Amino acid sequence: MFDRFQRTRSLWHMVAAPLVWAVHFVSVYAATSVICAKSAATGDARAIIVGLGLLAISVIAFIGWRAWLQRDLDPDDPVVNQATDDHRRAFLGHVGLLLAAISAIGVTYVSLPAIFIGTCQ
């Protein structure tokens, strides 16, 4: 897993996008709890959540773009089941790309309530 941190050989790069999701989730949870408990300045909370959401989405988009480049599937035979460096690289890229997509959806979902809900209580 630590294999020299080479991009195309690293599980860490594959899970980078959901890690961003996790950090984003914790930040939003912490920010909401603190603001709602300490100041009740809901406007701030909503602005912060939307801001964090946009930031996380852009980082995930970047990760997804890199994964897209790494993915590089053969359109005629997109199954990466060969015991080769190429297929392993494409596989990690493909899963990384899909995880970026799901993380982006996750971040969007978590940010939406800030647009629709006006108050802490």
Partner 1 sequence: MNRNPTKFWRRWPDPIPHPKAEGVFPPTQAMLSEPVDPATAEAQAARLRKVWKLPTGAHYWTAVNNDQVGKWYTMTAFGFMLMAGLLALAIRVQLAVPDNDVLSADRFNQFFTMHGSAMMFLFAVPLFEAFSILLLPGLLGARDMPFPRLSAYGYWSFLIGGCFVLGSILFDVAPSSGWFMYPPLATEGEGIGPDIWLLGLSFIEVASIAAAVELIVGTIKCRPPGMRINLMPLYAWYVLVVGVMILFAFPPLIAGDFLFELQRSLDWPFFDPERGGDPLLWQHLFWIFGHPEVYIIFLPSIAIASMVVPTAARQPMVGYSWVVLSAVGTGFLSFGLWVHHMFTTGLPQLSLGFFSAASEAVVIPTGVQLFAFVATLMVGRVTMSLPILWIAGAFAVFTVGGLTGVMVALAPFDWQVHDTYFIVAHLHYTLFGGMVFPIIGGVYYFYPFFTKKMLSQRLGRWSFWTTFIGFNVAFMPMHIAGLMGMPRRIFTYPEASGWGLVNLISTFGAFIVAAGILIFAWDLIRPKSRQPLTERNPWRAGTLEWSHSVPDESWGVRSIPYITSRYPLWDQPDIVERMDSGRYYLADAREGLRETIITSAVDAIPQSVARVTGPAVCTLVAAFFTGGAFILPVFHLYWAAGVSGALAVAAVIWWLWTSTAQVPETPMKDVGLGLRLPTYVSGPDAPGWWAIFITMTGDATAFASLVFAMFYYWTANPDFPPQDAIHTNLFWIAAGAIFFILSWAATFGARLLNRRTLVKYARALLVAGPIAALCGAACLALAFWVSGMDPATHAYPALVAAIIVWTLAHVVLGGIMQLYCLAGSLKGKLTPQYDADLWNTTLFWHFLLATCIIAALVVGPLPRLL
Residues contributing to the site for partner 1 (CB under 8 A): 1-3, 9-11, 14-15, 18, 21-22, 25, 28-30, 32-34, 36-38, 42, 45-46, 49, 79-83, 85, 87-88, 91-92, 94-95, 98-99, 102-103, 105-106, 109-114, 116-117, 119-121
The residue among 36 and 55 lying less far from partner 1, judged by its C-beta, is: 36
CB burial of residue 30 (10 Å; 0-12, 13-18, 19+): exposed
Q: Whose Cβ is closer to partner 1: residue 63's or residue 114's?
A: 114
CA angle 68-72-109, nearest 5°? 25
- Residue among 38 and 76 whose Cβ is closer to partner 1: 38
Q: How far is the CB of 58 from partner 1 (least distance, A)?
A: 19
Alpha carbon of 66 to those of 8, 20, 34, 39, 62: distances in Å? 10, 15, 35, 40, 6
110, 28 contact by CB (below 8 A)? yes
Q: Are 111 and 53 in contact (CB under 8 A)?
A: yes
Instruction: Give the nearest distance from C-beta 69 to partner 1 in angstroms.
Output: 16
Residue 4 beta carbon to partner 1: minimum distance, rounded to whole angstroms: 10
Question: Which candidate, 33, 37, 22, places its Cα nearest to that of 110?
Answer: 22
Question: Which is nearer to partner 1, 37 or 76 (by Cβ)?
Answer: 37
